[in-house]
Amino acid sequence: MSKKDSTVGRIQWGRMLKKLKPYTIKKGLRYLKHYGPKEFWIRLHERFEPEEVPYGPWYEAYIPDEKQLDQQRHRRFLYEPLISVAVPAYHTPEKFLREMIDSLLAQTYRNWELCIANGSPEDETMLKVLKEYAAMDKRVRFRDLGENLGIAGNTNAALEMAEGEFVGLLDHDDLLAPNALYEIALALEKDRSLEAVYTDEDKVTTDLSEHYQPHLKPDFNLDLLRSNNYICHFFVVSRTIIQEVGGFRQEFDGAQDHDFIFRCVEKAQNVGHVSEIVYHWRTHKASTADNPASKMYAFDAGKRAIEAHLERMGIQGEVSHTPDLGFFRVKYPVQGEPLVSIIIPNKDEKESLKACIESIREKTEYTNYEILIVENNSTSEEIFKYYKELSEDPRITVITWEREFNYSAINNFAVRHAKGEYLLFLNNDVTVITKGWLREMLGVCERKEVGAVGVKLLYPDNTIQHAGCVIGIGGIAGHMFVDMPANRTGYLHKASIMQDMSAVTAACMMMKRQAFEEAGGFTEKLSVAFNDVDLCLKVRRNNKLIVYDPYVQLYHMESKTRGAEDSQAKVRRFQEEIEYIRCQWIDILKKGDPYYNKNLSLTKWNYSLRPLPGMEKKSSK
């Protein structure tokens, strides 16, 4: 560790110690009771691990300065829709109410209206403040409700007030950044087909002294939304969509926004994402944002919201809580009994192959599968003896590839011999950990919108080797959470929840045969590197999802049989494969992976912040 890293670490841990107040200690005890000692310690260590790029200075460098805000105020839009901001208010402290309204008055985009439904008409202070602001600016409107109708009822009253073409949802004690509506309007002007848009967000302390825990989101991600309400704030949707789906539903109180978002995105033809942090979520001691264990009813409501969504979509799925409350697992049952062809290339490696085969036999509960071993220029007698032994199993076939090693060509060759409707590409140096692994993968892969499924791979020392791939990491593509202890869950638990990604590794990847064939199979110019990334991107180009499923885990001894890239020929071949990906997929490399966020690092594997120009200058003021 460098002297600079050591200093940053001391600062971060020092900040943690400063937070050890009676409330945080009490909160910690609640978490200890929920998780148990072992899991609590893991999560505590993960939560307070020093940030590689501290968010406070990063945020100061990130926000637009006054010159940029002034430029935004003077921009002329070709399309300038009225955006209504709906706020359900109930006994809002005066300070919070004023700050929320002031955040609207500071917007650089001017065509907005604020619609506040006041569910506490007996609160004279609130009424005085609302009248004051309504008199000051005609865009601020409020309606006194006769009584508190609850979060769903109060929100619906605010939605009914809205006259805008688009409507955004704002909590009564949260804040919008000055450029929030400007960024939304830019997105709507750029793509007139958008019917819903969401933004990134962070949390802010009650006194607004500290911004923390930025939530930097991917573009629309169906499986992530089924795992967690990642869209959350700031969500803006066409008023036409709202009228079609109806407002908030009281039976989902606690997760009413998750249910509402599901119903909106089910109807919306195009959901956009603005990757800018323009919503500030104020946290309180009693809020679920800061104390997940305090409102179990909210998480039960979230589970029911996902179940209701699946039912509307005609999808069978069993929803359950994960240890991290507010994050969910959907288990998809297998439909029918389709044949799965497991394809394993091999050269000489008897012990690795044997461990792989034995783990399949031991951990596989699904019975309708075949194994194709592709023999490629082995020389040892023992491997051919083992092949003969394996051939006695009617489910195992050994086929021979007689040309030089080419991973893509070998697998394409095997697919021509495979009988299965589903193809499972598997390295010979993996061993299955998860019992029922094949059924789990098949249940996900059978879904009509899915093209392929990847899994969590671990090194033998129980650190992560693969938790999905991000395009652009390391220049071309890279695995996420490499070397992180497997018992950790990572940034916003992304190592441990199901989500869609641009690519997964073919060390263990199941793909529909139809998706494989429509994509044209593996590109044989890519004999060793990036062939799985290329195939996944071709499948994505055909509008099929690539799903990362962490509920299947295998051990992987990566590249054990291939050897190092240590000869001139190998180095030249590797450079040619890099150049192929750069030429073929230049658009995604330039624009960025849609399942990643532009503000995240392309040199780190752990979703850390990408350093910004000017950070040191601003943070030194």
The Cα–Cα gap between 567 and 579 comes to 18
pLDDT, greater one: 89 or 568: 89
Question: Using 50, 70 and 90 to split pLDDT, how confident is the model at 385?
Answer: very high
Please report, as a single letter, which amino acid is at residue 42: I
81-329 belongs to CATH 3.90.550.10: yes
474-500 confidence digits (pLDDT tens): 999 999 999 999 999 999 999 999 999
Specify the CATH class of 340-591 in words: alpha beta
- Torsion sign, CA atoms 4, 469, 457, 573: negative
Rounded average pLDDT over 302-308: 98
pLDDT at site 87: 98
pLDDT of 617 higher than 50: no
Closest CA to 232 of 266, 254, 257: 257
- Is there a contact between 162 and 270 (Cβ–Cβ < 8 Å)? no
Q: What is the 3-state secondary structure (H, E, C) of 25-88?
A: HHHHHHHHHHHCHHHHHHHHHHHCCCCCCCHHHHHHHHCCCHHHHHHHHCCCCCCCCCEEEEEE
Q: Say which residues have a Cβ less than 8 Å from residue 39's Cβ, sequence separation at least 6.
A: 323
- 288 φ, ψ (degrees, to nearest 5): -65, -20
The Cα–Cα gap between 76 and 73 comes to 9
The Cα–Cα gap between 243 and 225 comes to 22
Q: Return the minimum-mean-pLDDT range out of 38-52, 263-277, 356-370.
A: 38-52
Q: What is the 3-state secondary structure (H, E, C) of 196-247?
A: EEEEEEEEECCCCCCEEEEECCCCCCHHHHHHCCCCCCCEEEEHHHHHHHCC
Q: Say which residues have a Cβ less than 8 Å from residue 447's Cβ, sequence separation at least 6.
A: 315, 332, 545
Q: What is the pTM assigned to this prediction?
A: 0.91
- Is there a contact between 54 and 137 (Cβ–Cβ < 8 Å)? no
159-186 confidence digits (pLDDT tens): 999 999 999 999 999 999 999 999 999 9
pLDDT at site 82: 98
Question: For all residues of the chain together, what is the average pLDDT?
Answer: 91
Burial 265-281 (b: 16+ CB within 10 A, else e): beebeebbbbbbbbbbb
Q: Return the minimum-mean-pLDDT range out of 70-74, 121-125, 218-222, 546-550.
A: 121-125
Question: Using 50, 70 and 90 to split pLDDT, how confident is the model at 17?
Answer: low
pLDDT at site 24: 55
Question: Using 50, 70 and 90 to split pLDDT, how confident is the model at 288?
Answer: very low
Strand partners, 555: 431, 458
- 116 φ, ψ (degrees, to nearest 5): -105, 125
Closest CA to 508 of 576, 432, 567: 432
The Cα–Cα gap between 367 and 270 comes to 40
pLDDT of 2 higher than 80: no
- Torsion sign, CA atoms 307, 313, 316, 322: negative
pLDDT at site 499: 98
- For tokens 């596989």, what's the residue? 364
The Cα–Cα gap between 287 and 295 comes to 8
pLDDT of 5 higher than 70: no
pLDDT at site 574: 87
Three-state SS at 184: helix
pLDDT of 130 higher than 60: yes
589-604 confidence digits (pLDDT tens): 999 999 999 999 999 9
